[in-house]
Amino acid sequence: MTFSAGIDAGSRTIKVVLLRAGEVMARGIADQGITQEAEIERLYACVLEEAEVERGAVRAVATGYARNLVRGAEKTVTEITCHARGVARLAPGARTVIEIGGQDSKVLWLEAGGLVRDFAMNDRCAAGSGRFLETVAMRLSVPLPELGALAAKSTAPAVINSTCVVFAETEIIGLLAAGTSPADIAAGILGSLARRVAVLAGGQIVPPVYFTGGVALAPGMDDALAEAIGCPVVVAPDPQYTGALGAALLAGELA
């Protein structure tokens, strides 16, 4: 029996997917920690133990921000390639992938078979990432998973002009002081993040569009993106695991 593993060591979370003959056998997710290498090793060991699979029987590919810290990986692959491959497995017809993770955002344009034709990436400012939403949720005193539900109550979304997390947080404080409702601020933030992605895409959206990464779990973010890019957006199944799935599929193809 052939086993392959994909280990996505992201900036905020670690994801592991274990495949048996190309089908998902086990998976796991954990928050990234200070001792990144140890946290990665612990999660990988837990997934293998759950599946009752010996490490020596598994071929592994690592991806993500801390991919070079993964012990035992036979190869490291960029998250761009892995997310493209993972989405193509789940949705073979996908032509554009929007991935928003903890520290960056990406737009991928795919060819048939999940090959990356081109991509654009914003990794210089946290305002285009999940970290931005975490900061906003903390400032509004709501759990991050509830930010979208709060935004849905908005009647007049606030205009957020700042292009930096630090300045945006200051702007939010000013809006709260001026009496702007948290719901309107939350809606403004989702819209602001969506518009950044639209700018990143440069108007070159090719449907169907699939949304992946941890931020895809935020209710309402898909709708904000759809409005910003002028095209329907589908949240990929289990969007946090897409990169790890792609890495596992690539591991299964190692010669």
Q: Residue 93 burial by CB count (10 A; 0-12/13-18/19+): exposed, middle or buried?
A: exposed
pLDDT greater than 90 at residue 62 = yes
pTM: 0.89
pLDDT band at 171 (very low <50, low <70, confident <90, very high): confident
For residue 138, count other CB atoms closer than 10 A to its CB.
12
pLDDT band at 134 (very low <50, low <70, confident <90, very high): confident
In terms of CATH architecture, what is 3-82+242-251?
2-Layer Sandwich (3.30)
Tell me which of 9-13, 19-23, 160-164 is least confident: 160-164
Distance CA 167, CA 148 (A): 22
Region 29-56: mean pLDDT is 93
Residues 135-150: tens digit of each pLDDT: 888 888 888 778 888 9
Give me the residue label for tokens 């992946």.
212
Helix pair 130-140, 182-201: axis angle to 10 deg = 170
pLDDT band at 189 (very low <50, low <70, confident <90, very high): confident
**With left for phi above 0 and alpha for psi between -120 and 50, is residue 118 left, alpha or beta?**
beta
Residues 68-81: tens digit of each pLDDT: 999 889 999 999 99
Cα three-residue angle 222-223-225, rounded to 5 degrees: 65
Give me the residue label for tokens 């795919």.
110
Distance CA 100, CA 204 (A): 17
Distance CA 196, CA 165 (A): 13
CATH superfamily, domain at 93-235: ATPase, nucleotide binding domain (3.30.420.40)
Percent of the chain with pLDDT over 90: 58
Within 61-117, residue ranges assigned H as helices are 79-90
Q: Measure Cα distances from 113 to 10, 60, 87, 109, 225 in Å.
A: 25, 21, 10, 12, 25
pLDDT band at 123 (very low <50, low <70, confident <90, very high): low
- Among candidate residues 162, 120, 161, 136, the one with its CA nearest the CA of residue 220: 136
Give SS3 for 13. Answer: strand
Q: 170 CB contacts (<8 Å, ≥6 apart)? A: 162
Query: For residue 14, what pLDDT is reported?
Result: 95
Give SS3 for 245. Answer: helix
Give SS3 for 103. Answer: coil
Token code pair at residue 217? 């779990």
Whether 127 contacts 168, CB under 8 Å:
yes
Give SS3 for 73. Answer: coil
DSSP 134: H
Query: For residue 124, what pLDDT is reported?
Result: 55
Give SS3 for 210. Answer: strand
Give me the residue label for tokens 């957006």.
233
Residues 85-115: tens digit of each pLDDT: 999 999 999 999 999 887 788 999 999 878 8
- Sequence ranges of the chain with CATH classification 3.30.420.40: 3-82+242-251, 93-235
Residues in the chain, overall count: 255
Percent of the chain with pLDDT over 70: 94
Query: For residue 42, what pLDDT is reported?
Result: 96
